[in-house]
Amino acid sequence: MLNSDDLARDAVIDLVLFEARMSPDGRLLQYARSRLRTFWLRQGFTMFGAAVVGVLADMQLGLGLALLALFGEVFDLMLLRRIVWRLEADRCDGRNRLMVLLGAVVQSSTIGACVAITWHMIPIQETRFFAAIFLASAGINAGLARSMCRPAANLRLTVYLATGFTLMAMDLRHADLARSRDYGFFAAGFVLLIYVALHLIRMTERNYQHR
């Protein structure tokens, strides 16, 4: 049986480990490792979207979108690997933290570009619905990391929100779409989808803080 001294020592060790995990460097390390661990899962999601475009619209366009998205993901991956190495070696500084933000901006911008290309280059109304769902899904994935690295998550969310609202604003410049009842339902549904996604992200963050 453990005596009181052993229990006290274990409690101190657990507290030290917990404080290390919840420190700024600890949360950043969790974020980087999580992004690295789920790299292939995200690629499956992205390749599914590219395959849908390739099969239902244009194969070359689908391939181009896949390569564009992969560029952003690999760029982010390389920076995150460097961050993990430097954090584990206790050599992380402010410049390395900026690299995390750079990776987030580049990766989210390539996804936003893929959505914009799909939205405007495929002359099928339903394509906008598919692109909107894809964009919201990417936003949810990014937002779930706010508890670990809020600046990077917020940058991704900003890029995705700006992409979505810019695309809708460009659509509404066309009189036929602006007066279309079908597009009105789509626009209202897209706004509702954004609200639900942000609410889900906020609830997840609150649950994390509570634990």
The residues, ordered by sequence, that sit 6+ positions from 186 with a Cβ below 8 Å of its Cβ are 125, 128, 129, 132
Q: How far apart are CA 135 and CA 51, in angstroms?
A: 16
The 3-state secondary structure of 95-106 reads: HHHHHHHHHHHH
Q: How far apart are CA 23 and CA 8, in angstroms?
A: 22
Residues of the chain with pLDDT under 50: 2, 7, 10-20
Q: Could you tell me if 60 and 125 are in contact, meaning their C-beta atoms sit under 8 angstroms apart? A: no
Residue (of 156, 4, 182) closest to 73 by Cα position: 156
pTM of the model: 0.86
Residue (of 108, 99, 126) closest to 162 by Cα position: 108
pLDDT (0 to 100) of residue 59: 95
Q: How far apart are CA 42 and CA 40, in angstroms?
A: 5
Q: Where are the domains of the chain?
A: 24-210
Residue 131 burial (C-beta neighbours within 10 Å; 0-12, 13-18, 19+): buried
pLDDT (0 to 100) of residue 9: 53
pLDDT (0 to 100) of residue 209: 63
pLDDT (0 to 100) of residue 90: 72
Q: Could you tell me if 100 and 149 are in contact, meaning their C-beta atoms sit under 8 angstroms apart? A: yes
pLDDT (0 to 100) of residue 208: 66
Which pair of structure tokens corresponds to residue 84? 């993990």
pLDDT (0 to 100) of residue 210: 57
pLDDT (0 to 100) of residue 1: 52
